[in-house]
Amino acid sequence: MVRKKSRENICVLDIGSSKIVCFIASIGSHGSIEITGIGHNLSGGIKSGSITDVKASEMAIAQAVEAAERMAGERIDKIYVNISAVNSLVKQINSQIIVAGHEITEKDLQKLLIQLSDNQPKDFEIIHSFPLDYSLDGNQGITSPLRMYGKELHCKYNIVMAAVSTILNLENCLTRCQLEMESLIHSTYSAGLASLTNDEKDMGTILLEMGGGSTSIAVFNNGSMIFADAVPFGGIHITNDLAKILSIDFANAERLKTLYGSAITSSADKEQFFDLTLENSEDDNEDNKVSKDVLVEIISARVEEILEMLKHRLTKSNAEKFAGNKIVITGGASQLQGMKEMVAKVFERKVQGSSFTAAKQNLHGLADSASGPSFAVPIGMLMYVADLNENDSVVSATSKPWQGLLNWFKENFA
């Protein structure tokens, strides 16, 4: 029997193209996280992070949430939801206010954030704002201006925005599941929180989050995400390539990719052959076999294409000079054999898999089956919410900046 929801519990929902993940957790002192419920299942009605079928996505979300509720023995009604990097816009915007010589307080920082809304693109709403550089009366490089004195306070922000239509579609889908959207959290930022150490976020590191329907890139420096971009291609598209070229169904193509696939060729590939048919098939025809070199050629072509697109976007940005020489890869598609080597080849940098070192320090109750790179986003979302609960000023600065506009849309166009 599901019991009444406890106020101490929070719930995060990772809506992906390949799977839906729901975590219910209790946030303790000093940001400790005790996971009490886990639910995940195959996605439905989602393509490259966008809802394409409300009914199918509603069913998939409801199943994941209900599974987590049964495990936790709790009924939840409010939920934190991810926003895909493909469906977001990242931009740097300057904000400034006159402080008239008084001591700078939290209220002044709030005013800086409010000023950002005047410069945001039409029909977009701010999800996150990361202060990159404060300056006071022309003095730059200020980490925190609190309790300082001056006349003019400036700040350059890296802001993450989402289209109002995307937010409304997400909220509509959740409402049909009798859930209220508490706040939105950027997927790639969440993956970075889970996958990178504090030193990696401070010194300059590139994060590649390789999901089923999209692949995103981000640069972390000085503790903040200073750049993020994404392409609507991921592990699902690699599987689709195999299915089309080899004339097999998607499930069989996924099996071949997972068991035998690689992003890097080797000299022995031509000597290995695999059945294109399922194990219970009676057809033993040679035409129903594929050599590993053909398999790898199909996979590596798509992987290299995705990585080259992301490298091009990074090169065009101003963030590359802050990126450092290290790349951390995470997400389900990052587990493909040879992926580290292919990323290192394309980006010409050192590559490693995510260690979840920072996450494991305060994370408890997470099963091994839900602790790998495929679950980086929901793990990072929990860390983000735990940090919000520890820092009230952060909550007031970032919680639901888009809610007023959403309500206006509902009242006028519902």
The residues spanned by each domain of the chain are 9-86+166-196+356-398, 88-164, 198-353
What are the tokens at 350? 């050192």
Nearest to 303 by CA among 272, 334, 327, 276: 334
- CATH value of 88-164 in 3.40.50.300, 3.20.20.70, 3.40.640.10, 3.30.1490.110: 3.30.1490.110
Mean of the pLDDT values across residues 90-108?
A: 90
Give the number of other CB atoms < 10 A from CB of residue 271: 9
Percent of the chain with pLDDT over 70: 88
Nearest to 330 by CA among 214, 184, 192, 186: 192
Report pLDDT for 170. Answer: 92
Q: How far apart are CA 11 and CA 80, in angstroms?
A: 6
pLDDT band of residue 397 (cuts 50, 70, 90) is very low
Mean pLDDT (the chain, rounded): 87
Q: Phi and psi dihedrals of 5, rounded to 5?
A: -60, 135
| Per-residue pLDDT tens over the stretch 264-282 | 998 888 889 998 875 444 5
Number of H helices, E strands in the chain: 13, 19
| Per-residue pLDDT tens over the stretch 347-366 | 999 999 887 766 767 788 88
Is the separation of the CB atoms in 153 and 112 below 8 Å? Answer: yes
Q: How far apart are CA 171 and CA 407, in angstroms?
A: 11
C-alpha of 376 from chain center: 8
Among 219-228, 321-330, 394-403, which is the least confidently predicted range? 394-403
pLDDT at position 307 over 90: yes
pLDDT at position 318 over 90: no
CATH architecture of 198-353: 2-Layer Sandwich (3.30)
pLDDT at position 8 over 80: no
Among 110-114, 217-221, 281-285, which is the least confidently predicted range? 281-285
User: What letter represents residue 328's amino acid?
Assistant: V
Q: How far apart are CA 358 and CA 380, in angstroms?
A: 10
What are the C-alpha distances in Å from 375 to residues 29, 83, 244, 267? 24, 15, 28, 34
Domain 9-86+166-196+356-398 fold is: Nucleotidyltransferase; domain 5 (3.30.420)
Please determine whether the domains at 88-164 and 198-353 fall in the same fold group of CATH: no
Number of residues that this document lists for the chain: 414
Largest CA distance in the chain: 84
Is the separation of the CB atoms in 222 and 202 below 8 Å? Answer: yes
| Per-residue pLDDT tens over the stretch 59-70 | 999 999 999 999
> Residues 6 or more apart from 65 whose CB is under 8 A from it?
11, 13, 22, 39, 76, 79, 177, 179
